[in-house]
Each structure stands twice: as C-alpha cells, then as structure tokens.
Amino acid sequence: MVRPHLRLRPPQPPAPTRPAATLLLVRDGAAGLQVLMTRRSAHASFAPGAYVFPGGAIDAADRAAASDATLAWRPDQDDAIRPALLAAVRESFEELGVLLARDAHGRWVAPEVAARLDRHAPLLPQCRAHGLTLALDALWWLAHWITDRDLPKRFDVPFFIARMPPGQEAQADNREQFEPVWVTPAEALQRHAAGAFPMVYPTVRTLEHLQRYADSAALLDACAARQGPQWISCPRAGWLQGQEARFMEHEPPYGELELTCPDGQLEHHLDWQHERPVPLTRHVQRLTAPNPGAMTGPGTNSYLVGEAATGYLAIDPGPADVGHLQRLLDAARGDLRAIVCTHSHPDHAPGAQPLQALCVAAGRPAPPVLGLPSAPTARAHSHFRPDRALADGERLVLSTADGAAHHTLRVLHTPGHAANHLCLVLEEDGLLFSGDHILNGSTTVIDPPDGDMDAYLASLQRLRAACDAWTIRYILPAHGHVLGDAPRAIERLQAHRLQREAKIARVLAAYPGAGLDTWVRHAYDDVPERLWPVARRSLLAHLQRLDPDQFALCMESQR
C-alpha cells in the first residue's frame, strides 16, 4: 500500500455510520414494474424534500426481536440481517401504513385490520394482540448502500424489496413522509432529470438498476436467485465539469478517487486536461498527452515517479509532441534520471528521444531511454531501440544520497499486447504501471503477429501473482483513470477475455469457414459496429489459439 507520508492528503476519518434499513414496495402497472416512493419532509435532517423509498434507523427493539414468534423468516435470513428486515417492515408501516403481515390462516392481513393498528405505537405487541405474523420472509435483499465518506451524516443501509400486499393503499404519515406515488423507474428518472423529482444518489442508481426488469416477478426472481445483495456500494465523490459527481466501485473513476482521497475528501478533479500534471500521490504524477482518439481514449498517460530530492523517472513519454514533452520536463523540475517506454507503439515511445534532447538543451545530463527493443514482428510505425534494454526482474531505484527517500521500480516483461511490452511495479507502494496491458474502461487490442493472446493471458496471470507478491492495490494504466482493487480487476479482465473466446468458439462452430467479417459480426454483436475493425484484430488473436490452421489462412489472406 502507498506509504502514508506520501499520500496527498492527511487522514480524515469519515463520520461513523448508523445502521438503517429501506424497503422497496413494488407492483405491476400498465407500463410494467412500479415502485412506491414518497417525499421526505422539507425539514428532515437528511435528504430534505427528496423522493425516497420508505425506511429508517434500526432501533433497540428491532435488535431484540430476532427470535419473536410474530416474525416469519426464511432459512437464508440469518441473525445478522434480521434486525434490518424488521426495521424495514416497521418503518414502511409507520411512514406509509403498509403492513406486510399474515393472519393466523396465512392470508395477507386485511386492509381494515391493518388500519386498526396504531402507526405510532410499538408494532410487535399489536401484531400479537391481533394474531398477526410479520411477513419478513416476503422480503428479498436487493442492495446494500453505505453513505459516501465525505458526508457528515452517514448510514449503513440494506435495501430490501417486496411486493405490495394486496388490498392496501399507502397513506403518508405527513410527519416524515408526504405524497406517496407509484412510478416506473424510468418515469422517476425522467422527472428527476427534468428537476421535478429530487432524489439522492443511491435512490437514482437503484432505480437505474430496476429499469432492466419488465415486471415484479422478474425482479423478485433475480433477487431470490442470489444469496445476499446484488451489489454493495460505498460511493466516492470527485469534481467533474465543475460539479460534484459520485461513482460506484465498478465505475472507472472509483479507484483514482480511492487513491487520491482515501477518506472521501471531496477534492480531486476528474476532468481530462493536457496542460498540467495531476498529482496521484506526493511522488507520482500523471500528465496526459493531447492525443485523444478511439484507440487512445483521453490520451496517453505519461507518469513521473520521484520527488525533488531523488530526481524523477518518466514512464511512457508518449508521442513526439513538443508541448507535452516540455510540460513533462517542467513537472520533473528538469531533473529526469531515466525515460522508460512500456512498449514501442506510436502513442508511447516516439517522445523518448525528443524528451532526452530537451534535457540536453536545458543543460542537463541526457537521461537514458530504457525499455525493450521492438521484435521483428512489430509494425513499421512501432520500431524502437532503447539506449539500454531492460532485463526482466531488473530494479530501477531513485534515492537520495543518504537513502532516506527511495522509490524502486521492478521491471516485468509482459508480452501479449506487444512482444516488447513491459510493466513496472513501484515496490514500496504497491502501484502497478500497466502500460497498455491493462486499461481502464476498455480492453486492449491484441494484434498478431506482434500481439499474442497466449502470451497476453500468461502475462495477466503473472501480474495477478505480482499483486500478492507486492500487495498491489492500484493499477496506473496508459489510458484512463487509476484502477483500484487490482487483484479483482485483473481477475475480471481474465474472465472477460475467456468469455469472449468461448463466444468466438461458438461462432466458429456455427459458421465454419465463413470468414472474419461474419465471425466479428456475431462474436462482437455487443460492441458498436464502428469498433469491429479493431475487434477483428483481437478475434485473430483468439483464432490463433482456437484454430491455428484457420488463423494461418486468415493471416495469409491479409498479406
């Protein structure tokens, strides 16, 4: 993990969370799935005036009632989650008068019986008096939200889901909740986008998830098929286009926000720009080259590792753009000790020699250009020869004369995207500079013959092992934001590649001898058509593993 004194910001422990629970009541309407929502009081201390699902804090009585006979459980609802289930049902009754309970015959409680209960008195004694059993077994766990770390009031909230009991109508208590309304997820989101239906972030993202279900049966079946929630999230916030923006764990900016603002400080700007370096730690900066495009995303990320006392090492100087290279040298205070190219592609290596020349022109020693020479299989625009070839496992060290400050980069040869591709591990901090081997927001192209899918997958496995060896948490790619949870990110990428290969194998079996155009159209039908020419190259790499003879024929036809 990153050394604490090299983090950008001092520790700022977030506010503690309060346990709470939420219940989404659903039904089917003419337009499909509907969910019950209400408007919070304008004077509420949390999310005033927002439209929400019913819910509230877990209280002592909820915790004490786990073994109460007036509660119906399922075997998968263990002691840890039972207080939250009870709180969700209790709050929906208190706030909206909706009671999920059955009578002594196992029938849903009649609306007139539910109406006799006092919504402001303890619920369980009343259920016992009327012979009712709370139907907690009718609830399914949809999600688990933990309030963002930057907010002063935070909750730890399971979101449950249940069908609206028959015959009952929601009636707001007009204290905490007002204006109950049944809406489809799409309608709620459209009204929110128009500014007429204010909602907090977890509500919005939950509704976005519900849009995929045509009706309540499909939604409840999906929840019943899982043990536990469909997702758990504690979002993180940053600045984007001048506004607060929040992101869940699977979204591209999340890892970068975790690295730069570990305690949830709302200080990091996510907008891509090319004029100045972005500090990621006190000793790692990213400067993105002004070469955005379909293959480069926002541009090639050049990284500087080091500090004033140790000098700096540049990783991937990018294209030979004089303005970019000068900004890179300025960010290094003119003190570049080495220039490392992860591979020889034209958006990574051409800037190396011009950057070296800029150092000399500024009266500085020429930093050596390091990397691996391009293989004979490289395309003409990717020929590269460093001043010195790096050895697999070699360590590049930046340190002060007394060794008080030091940064060690371990070289790992990772062929696959290119035969001469390498990655670098910043050993002391568990940071992986992945070049193009691992990207954020897209999968790298494997372009034979210099690209090789067997080598690529083997290198991924090596990087996964490196995560354990150096406790790697973050991946700094050549394109896109920092990725967090590095081991899982690599495992997901491995799974994605193998799933794609399995799909290609099915297409080859269904369309034998049809040719690349047909195979790409079916194997990449989930990818925009404009990207099929690029996908065609990776399909070739998979074909080399699946059917070497067919691969050889395709390669020959392209010459």
Which of 40-49, 180-189, 510-519 is least confident? 40-49
Q: What is the pLDDT of residues 379-396, one digit of tens each?
A: 989 999 999 999 999 999
The answer for residues whose C-beta is within 8 angstroms of residue 525's C-beta and 6 or more apart is: none
Overall average pLDDT of the 220-244 stretch? 95
Overall average pLDDT of the 277-292 stretch? 97
Overall average pLDDT of the 137-159 stretch? 96
Q: What is the pLDDT of residues 420-438, one digit of tens each?
A: 999 999 999 999 999 999 9
Three-state SS for 447? coil
pLDDT of 295: 87
Which of 168-177, 183-192, 257-266, 513-522 is least confident? 168-177
**What six digits make up the tokens of 101?**
């309970």
Instruction: Name the pairing type of β-strands 231-233 and 140-146.
Output: parallel
Residue type, 409: L
Query: How many C-beta atoms surround the C-beta of residue 283 within 10 A?
Result: 24
Largest CA distance in the chain: 91
* Topology match between the domains 17-234 and 278-484: no
557 burial type by CB count under 10 A (0-12 exposed, 13-18 middle, 19+ buried): exposed
Do residues 450 and 421 touch, judged by C-beta distance below 8 A?
no
Overall average pLDDT of the 28-47 stretch? 89
Q: Higher model confidence: residue 43 or residue 383?
A: 383
Q: Please state the φ and ψ torsions of residue 541, each to the nearest 5 degrees.
A: -65, -40
Query: How many C-beta atoms surround the C-beta of residue 212 within 10 A?
Result: 11
**pLDDT mean across residues, the chain:** 95
Q: Higher model confidence: residue 176 or residue 487?
A: 487
Reported as type and span, the H/E element at residue 345 is: none
Q: What is the pLDDT of residues 108-125, one digit of tens each?
A: 999 999 999 999 999 999
pLDDT of 119: 92
Q: Is the pLDDT of residue 45 over 80?
A: no
The answer for residues whose C-beta is within 8 angstroms of residue 425's C-beta and 6 or more apart is: 409, 410, 412, 431, 432, 433, 466, 470, 472
Per-domain boundaries in the chain: 17-234, 236-271, 278-484, 498-557
d(CA 445, CA 429): 29
d(CA 171, CA 107): 22
Overall average pLDDT of the 396-417 stretch? 93
pLDDT of 359: 97
Three-state SS for 35? strand
Q: What is the pLDDT of residues 299-320, one digit of tens each?
A: 999 999 999 999 999 999 999 9
Q: pTM for the full model?
A: 0.93
Q: What is the pLDDT of residues 498-546, one digit of tens each?
A: 999 999 999 999 999 899 999 999 999 999 999 999 999 999 999 999 9
Q: Is the pLDDT of residue 450 over 90?
A: yes
Do residues 427 and 279 touch, judged by C-beta distance below 8 A?
no
Chain centroid, CA 425 distance in Å: 22
Residue 36: name the closest of 161, 195, 146, 220 by CA.
Answer: 161
Q: How confident is the model at residue 401 (pLDDT cuts 50, 70, 90)?
A: confident
**CATH class of segment(s) 278-484:** alpha beta
Q: How confident is the model at residue 174 (pLDDT cuts 50, 70, 90)?
A: confident
- Multiple choice CATH, 17-234, 3.20.20.70, 3.90.79.10, 3.90.1150.10, 3.40.50.10420: 3.90.79.10
Q: Is the pLDDT of residue 294 over 90?
A: no
pLDDT of 556: 80
Q: How confident is the model at residue 136 (pLDDT cuts 50, 70, 90)?
A: very high
Q: Is the pLDDT of residue 488 over 80?
A: yes
Residue 413: name the closest of 445, 441, 437, 439 by CA.
Answer: 437
**What six digits make up the tokens of 401?**
């004369």
Q: What is the pLDDT of residues 191-204, one digit of tens each?
A: 999 999 999 999 99
Percentage of the chain modeled with pLDDT above 70: 100
Residue type, 160: F
